Structure 1
Amino acid sequence: MAGHSKWHNIQRRKGKQDAIRGQLFTKLSKDIYQAAREGGGNPETNFRLRVAIERARANNLPMENIQRTIAKATGQIEGATYEELLYEGYGPHGVALLLEILTDNRNRTAAEVRHLFRKHGGNLAESGAVAWMFQRFGEIVVPKYKVDGDDLMMVALEAGAEDVIERSRTYVVKTTPDNFRAVRMSLEEKGIPYEEASLTYEASTKMDLPEEALEQVYDLVEALESLDDVQTVYTNLDTGDEEEEDE
């Protein structure tokens, strides 16, 4: 599809791979840690933990690592204490970036992030400078081949979802943060399977850039994502994400 191609083509041209195994495991373990610390170590009653474990297992994180991380988070064994932060900044060409951080040393993380922003022609901003451009919402991704679209729409909207978006291979159920859990539980009760469920951010308005400029922003995003303490990077770029990538 042509509409989504710029960002996707740059990724392919650069030959971007997933994070190296050690770095990926670090990010997955941190996500498990924070989920267990906030909601307890039982994935049956802690949905965020259950999703984090499922994602970790899908990426081959050993079960013993998962159990050890949960034990650290719940105080059964000693370990580092992590805190969640939001960093805000501007990349090349004035692109807004919002970073979800999970760190045990905020001074180290701030220095590393600030260095990368400067290196790639951007700057780390004060709290509130960028966050107002983004909306927090819940997103539940349901494979098309496992559900009837009309049935999904009816169940999701009755449970309080804001919208159900049809893509080439999936439906995306969007909710407010407050209704996210209720909608997810309703889908589970109705036997509707999903492959991803998370709270995320999306820019209220998006900007478009020519391919050369987009590549400069991509370099910064890639560098930020390489840091262990950076869990997710959001931008206000129009990358065509509404058209799901099939390739």
Structure 2
Amino acid sequence: MSGHNKWSSIKHKKAAVDAKRGKIFTRYIREITIAARLGGDDPDANPRLRAAITAAKGVNMPRDNIERAISRGAGGDDGENIEEVRYEGYGQGGVAILVDCMTDNRNRTVADVRSAFNKGGGNMGEAGCVSWMFHQKGQFVFASGTVDEEQLMEVALGAGADDIEEDSDAGCMIVSCEPTAFGTLHQALDDVGLEAQVSEISWVPENSISVEGEAAEKVLALIERLEDLDDVQNVYANYDISDAEIERISA
């Protein structure tokens, strides 16, 4: 398992837990609204919107909620002056962390994020301090046993995928592509009925940092603290923590 996909595996494992959080709907509504505002209301012509809709359906968001969010964004009447901001910093062991937010109040958000870093034993840095360690990738995650692997490989590689990996520990298959190929690949998978559990354009690390023991505990606690902030949409990090270590910490 390459380091950059370790994060995808962890997100796959967390999906069921995240879906139980009431505010997960709010995050997806914001993402759908912004995506529709920036790229229009046609999912076929707007890969970001299409990914957001897929993700929202994955946590059983009602169709009416999705359609209202699209209408607000496409009509420019989203009721809030929401903007996207990114913060960067470090956790224990030098782990690099990117925090993507959507906010109507930058001062509140930056204060909350800085406080989370400080309380979590990390350090918030300047813009660009860790983002150079990451690159964007389109990613599709399928639960193992739910798709025909030969068909997945044939369709995905023919539509622009550049990597297909299986993580037996996480119980999933991960298809990766360049962001420019995301829309085409998404359509190709849909056309043959291959529906991913996770479908997104994500930031993945070039390399991972292995952490264990107390450092691993503090990194996971910091990530959770950041994710719990209302304005935070996504948190990306370059840690590599073994499954055994995660189970020990969760016990």
- Please tell me the TM-score bracket, short chain as reference: 0.7 to 0.9
Q: How does 1:38-49 map to 2 (within 5 A)?
A: 38-43=38-43, 45-49=45-49
Is the CA contact 2:32–2:70 (under 8 Å) kept in the aligned structure 1?
A: yes
Kept in 2, the 8 Å contact 1:93–1:213? The answer is yes
Residue 207 of structure 1 aligns with an amino acid whose one-letter code is I
Q: CA deviation at 1:19?
A: 7.4
Q: Which amino acid is 1:39 matched to?
A: G
Corresponding residue of 2:161: 161
2:69 is matched with which residue?
A: 69
Partner residue, 1:232? 234
Report the Cα distance in structure 2 between the residues aligned to 1:23 and 1:142, rounded to whole angstroms: 24
d(CA) in 1 for partners of 2:172 and 2:160?
Answer: 20
**8 Å contact from structure 2 (residues 212, 241) kept in 1:** no
Deviation string 1:59-78 (CA, Å, 9 cap, x unpaired) is: 34444443433332223645
Give the direction of change, closer, same or farther, for the CA distance of 1:134–1:51 in structure 2 (3 Å limit): closer
**Could you tell me which residue of structure 2 aligns to residue 109 of structure 1?**
109
Does the residue aligned with 2:136 lie in a helix, a strand or coil?
strand
Shift of 1:26: 1.8
Please report how far the alpha carbon of residue 98 of structure 1 lies from its aligned counterpart in structure 2 after TM superposition. 0.8
Runs of at least 5 residues in structure 1 that lack an aligned partner in the other structure: none
Deviates more, 1:115-124 or 1:16-25: 16-25
Give the structure with higher Rg (CA). Answer: 1
Distance in structure 2 (CA, Å) of the matches to 1:188 and 1:40: 20
Structure 1 residues 233 and 63: alpha-carbon distance in aligned structure 2, compared to 1, 3 A threshold: same
Shift of 1:44: 5.3
Alpha-carbon shift at residue 222 of structure 1 (Å): 0.9
Distance 2:108 2:74 in 1: 25
Q: Is the 8 A contact 2:89 2:123 kept in 1?
A: yes
Q: TM-score, normalised by structure 2?
A: 0.79
**CA spacing shift, 1:213–1:64, aligned 2, 3 Å:** same
Q: In 2, Cα distance between the equivalents of 1:80 and 1:145?
A: 42
Per-residue Cα deviation, 1:179-199 (whole angstroms, up to 9, x for no partner): 222222222234433232111
1:78 & 1:129 partners in 2: Cα distance?
32
Distance (whole Å) between structure 1 residues aligned to residue 129 and residue 76 of structure 2: 39
- For the 8 Å contact 2:52–2:200, the answer to whether it is kept is no
Deviations 1:93-149 (A, max 9, x none): 322101111112222111110111122222211111100111211111234434332
Q: Which residue of the partner structure matches residue 210 of structure 2?
A: 208
Which residue matches 1:80?
Answer: 80
RMSD of Structure 2 on Structure 1 (CA): 2.9
**Contact 1:134–1:201 under 8 Å retained in 2:** yes
Q: Which stretch shows the higher mean deviation, 89-98 or 58-67?
A: 58-67
Which structure shows the higher helix fraction? 2
Kindly provide the CA deviation profile for residues 204-232 of structure 1, in whole angstroms up to 9, marking residues without a partner as x.
Answer: 11111222111111121111101111111
Q: Judging changes above 3 Å, is the alpha-carbon distance between structure 1 residues 100 and 193 closer, same or farther for their aligned structure 2 residues?
A: same
Give distance in 2, aligned partners of 1:188 and 1:20. 26
Gaps of 5+ in 2: 1-5
For 1:32, the equivalent position in structure 2 comes to 32
Match of residue 125 from structure 2: 125
| Partner Cα separation in structure 1 for residue 209 and residue 199 of structure 2 | 26
Indicate if the aligned counterparts of 2:135 and 2:204 stay in contact, CA closer than 8 A.
yes
Map of 2:190 onto structure 1: 188
Query: Does structure 1 conserve the Cα–Cα contact (< 8 Å) formed by 2:33 and 2:78?
Result: no
Structure 1 residues 78 and 203: CA distance shift in structure 2, 3 A: closer
- Separation of aligned partners in 2, 1:225 and 1:112: 11
Amino acid at match of 1:107: N
Q: Which residue of 1 aligns with 2:178?
A: 176
Mapped to 2, the partners of 1:117 and 1:188 lie a distance apart of 40
Q: What's the TM-score once normalised by structure 1's chain length?
A: 0.81
State whether residues 91 and 123 of structure 1, in contact with CA within 8 Å, keep that contact through their aligned partners in structure 2. yes
Counterpart Cα distance in 2 of 1:151 and 1:20: 32
SS in 1 for 2:200: strand
